[in-house]
Amino acid sequence: MPFLRDEKKEVSHLFPILYEDETVLVIDKPPGVVVNRAESVKSETVQDWAYTYLWLNEVTDGISAENKDFFDRAGIVHRIDKETSGCLIIAKNPSAFSELQRQFKERVIKKTYLAIVHGTVAPRVSEIRAPVGRLPWNRERFGILPGGKEAVTKYEVESSWSVTRGKHAEALSLLTLHPETGRTHQIRVHCKYINHPILGDYLYAGRKTARDDRTWVPRVMLHAKEIVFVHPVTHKEVAITARVPDDMNGIRAAGSSER
């Protein structure tokens, strides 16, 4: 039987558990937490936590070449950006890790995101189809490039409203987004491409807009709301949802003229 959310409070207080059984773990990653270890990252990562939670720190030998990737990544099947919150899948054994990787590669896994973006978006339901690649002149950023990888994002406008800051009112929209492909920074780049960058996006909103955003929002307003996968053992579809974070709800609550 799967464990219920927060059943392991003494271990998972930083990373709320949305779903867990003997094979798969889904956490609600808080914003501001890095997923993978790196020399430049000094704070605790999801990977650090996963090693401890899955007892992988106790495994010191006997790791086969076939299972090395699972141990190197502490079962983390995919990643979301540091400032993005929401659903993250962790496999609890090598076979589940391989199967879930296959599902990502073959686009079996479906993801749904929420984003607060600048402006009033039209049309209200559409698809963004534009190739995404790493910018040759800035290796930290991605953009729409002719030689980039195929990237498709479908979206719907959930609501639009205005916020008043000083003497000015600004239009914002809440989007539900369904990335059909999984390119790095895909949603952020695609929102910028249609001239509705994500609120708080320090990389893609533009220098002045990003600077203004950061005076009143704490992060990139992007949330991995739902993930749907086929269970590696039962072969049944599993849908997991993470609640909308308080900071996103607060921005909506502070608005007016919602429509």
Tell me: do 137 and 206 sit in the same domain: yes
Tokens standing for residue 225? 């709301």
Contacts of 251-255 with C-beta under 8 Å, sequence gap 24+, read 251/116, 251/163, 251/172, 251/199, 251/217, 251/221, 252/116, 252/159, 252/161, 252/174, 254/163, 255/161, 255/162, 255/163, 255/172
Query: Could you tell me if residue 236 is inside a domain?
Result: no
pLDDT of 8 reads 41
Q: In whole angstroms, what is the distance from residue 188 CA to residue 191 CA?
A: 5
Q: What is the pLDDT of residue 149?
A: 96
Give me the number of domains the chain comprises: 2
Q: Is the pTM of this model over 0.75?
A: yes
Residues 132 and 254 in one domain: yes
* pLDDT given at position 60: 53
**30, 83: one domain:** yes
Catalytic residues: 81
Measured CA to CA in angstroms, residue 117 lies from 58, 141, 243 at distances of: 44, 19, 19
Rounded distance between C-alpha atoms, residue 114 and residue 49, angstroms: 26
**Is 49 in the same domain as 166?**
no
Cβ-contact 19, 1 below 8 angstroms: no
**Same domain as 92, residue 29:** yes
Q: Are residues 181 and 206 in the same domain?
A: yes
Residue 253 and residue 135 share a domain: yes
Q: Are residues 93 and 123 in the same domain?
A: no
Predicted local confidence at residue 38, as pLDDT: 74
98 and 138 share one domain: no
Give a yes or no: residue 238 inside a domain: no
The residue ranges of the chain whose pLDDT is under 70 are 1-13, 57-63, 65, 256-259
pLDDT value at position 13?
A: 47
Same domain, 144 and 253: yes
Residues 25 and 83 in one domain: yes
| pLDDT score recorded for residue 141 | 95
